[in-house]
């Protein structure tokens, strides 16, 4: 896919402004999570350090990780957007992309224990990604895509989640507002080695849902803006959205980022920084899969 890139000087000026804003707010924000806090900001600084070759930005991201580790406890909420599931998935992303090196077993031990307890014993509020069961499942999928694949407790927790979701799929009791996140979870689940045979029927059952069979691209995954939504839809549905993505990039280039009201990775200043970096290397959209 060819994307018309921004003027480099203008783009670097934008990135410099965003970087200064995030440095000021990164350590002052109380939120450690992926969507709105320090974990998402660390995503930007790791990528920015790799782009610029400046290790100071990498050091800043590592400092953010150290602060996050001091904030979270064994009772921290398990949710994906602001809680431990998203933080852990973000850390696994850092590891899998070579941003950090660590002893996998020791580093994730507390995360795995807390998320296992949530999956096996705690009531879940809904099936949504942000706060519900598919977000918990996203954590285990990300761990099993890395060095955690041999950890039997991670498999046990993920199977428990998948069985609960599959049961509701076949009972046809999933609200429409949760269906797209459920489909996305099952899509990712069946890409894991050893899971396709057991859960492919559950994913196929989702195809009869209107939002999956004929997805409304403007309204599905409503927590994202249009550009990130298009990338997600192209990844999860058999639809060629190349033209729509190129058009959305043109709109983004003309948008006024001064209207942004938060700093987060979902739709805030961190996301704006990542989109600027992505416009340099249009193929590098791996970070969007965190959303």
User: Within a 10 A sphere around the Cβ of 193, how many other Cβ atoms?
Assistant: 8
119 and 201, same domain (yes or no) = yes
CB 291 within 8 A of CB 265: yes
pLDDT bucket at 23, cuts 50 / 70 / 90: very high
CA-based max dimension of the chain: 55
147 and 45, same domain (yes or no) = no
CA 240, 94, 97, 257 dihedral sign is: positive
Q: Could you tell me the pTM of the whole model?
A: 0.93
Instruction: Indicate whether 175 belongs to any domain.
Output: yes
Residue 106 confidence (pLDDT): 81
For the residues 231-240, what does the mean pLDDT come to?
92
55 and 168, same domain (yes or no) = no
53 and 150, same domain (yes or no) = no
67 and 115, same domain (yes or no) = no
Domain boundary among 150, 185, 213: 213
Rounded (10°) CA dihedral 84, 90, 91, 94: 180
Domain boundary among 155, 185, 213: 213
Residue 103 confidence (pLDDT): 72
Instruction: Indicate whether 291 belongs to any domain.
Output: no
Rounded (10°) CA dihedral 156, 70, 81, 267: -150
109 and 18, same domain (yes or no) = no
For the residues 52-70, what does the mean pLDDT come to?
95
What residue numbers bound the domain in which 164 lies? Answer: 76-213
Instruction: Indicate whether 167 belongs to any domain.
Output: yes
Instruction: Indicate whether 237 belongs to any domain.
Output: yes
Cα-based angle 277, 279, 281 (whole degrees, multiple of 5): 80
20 and 128, same domain (yes or no) = no
Question: Mind listing the pLDDT tens digit for each residue in 132-161?
Answer: 999 999 999 999 999 899 999 999 999 999
User: HSE-up of 169 (CA within 13 Å, CB side)?
Assistant: 26
189 and 82, same domain (yes or no) = yes
> 3-class DSSP state for residue 286?
helix
Cα-based angle 133, 144, 263 (whole degrees, multiple of 5): 60
End-to-end CA distance of the chain: 21
Question: Mind listing the pLDDT tens digit for each residue in 150-194?
Answer: 999 999 999 999 999 999 999 999 999 999 999 999 999 999 999
85 and 200, same domain (yes or no) = yes
Instruction: Indicate whether 142 belongs to any domain.
Output: yes
130 and 165, same domain (yes or no) = yes
Instruction: Indicate whether 227 belongs to any domain.
Output: yes
172 and 142, same domain (yes or no) = yes
205 and 220, same domain (yes or no) = no
Provide the domain count of the chain: 3
């Amino acid at each position: 896919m060819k994307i018309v890139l921004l003027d480099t000087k203008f783009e670097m000026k934008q990135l410099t402004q965003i970087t200064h804003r995030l440095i000021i707010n990164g350590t002052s924000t109380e939120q450690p999570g992926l969507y709105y806090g320090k974990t998402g900001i660390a995503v930007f600084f790791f990528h920015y350090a790799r782009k610029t070759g400046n290790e100071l930005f990498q050091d800043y991201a590592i400092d953010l990780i150290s602060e996050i580790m001091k904030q979270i406890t064994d009772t921290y909420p398990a949710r994906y957007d602001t809680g431990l599931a998203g933080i852990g998935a973000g850390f696994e992303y850092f590891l899998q992309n070579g941003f950090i090196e660590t002893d996998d077993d020791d580093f994730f031990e507390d995360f795995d224990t807390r998320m296992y307890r949530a999956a096996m014993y705690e009531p879940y509020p809904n099936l949504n990604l942000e706060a519900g069961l598919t977000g918990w499942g996203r954590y285990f999928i990300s761990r099993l895509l890395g060095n955690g694949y041999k950890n039997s407790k991670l498999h046990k927790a993920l199977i428990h989640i998948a069985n609960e979701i599959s049961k509701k799929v076949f009972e046809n009791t999933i609200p429409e507002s949760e269906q797209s996140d459920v489909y996305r979870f099952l899509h990712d689940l069946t890409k894991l080695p050893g899971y396709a045979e057991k859960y492919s029927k559950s994913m196929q059952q989702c195809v009869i849902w209107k939002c999956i069979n004929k997805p409304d691209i403007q309204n599905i995954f409503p927590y994202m803006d249009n550009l990130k939504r298009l990338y997600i839809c192209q990844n999860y549905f058999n639809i060629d959205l190349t033209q729509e993505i190129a058009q959305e990039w043109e709109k983004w280039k003309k948008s006024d980022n001064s209207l942004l009201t938060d700093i987060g990775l979902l739709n805030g200043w961190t996301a704006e920084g990542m989109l600027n970096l992505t416009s340099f290397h249009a193929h590098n959209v791996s970070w969007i899969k965190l959303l």
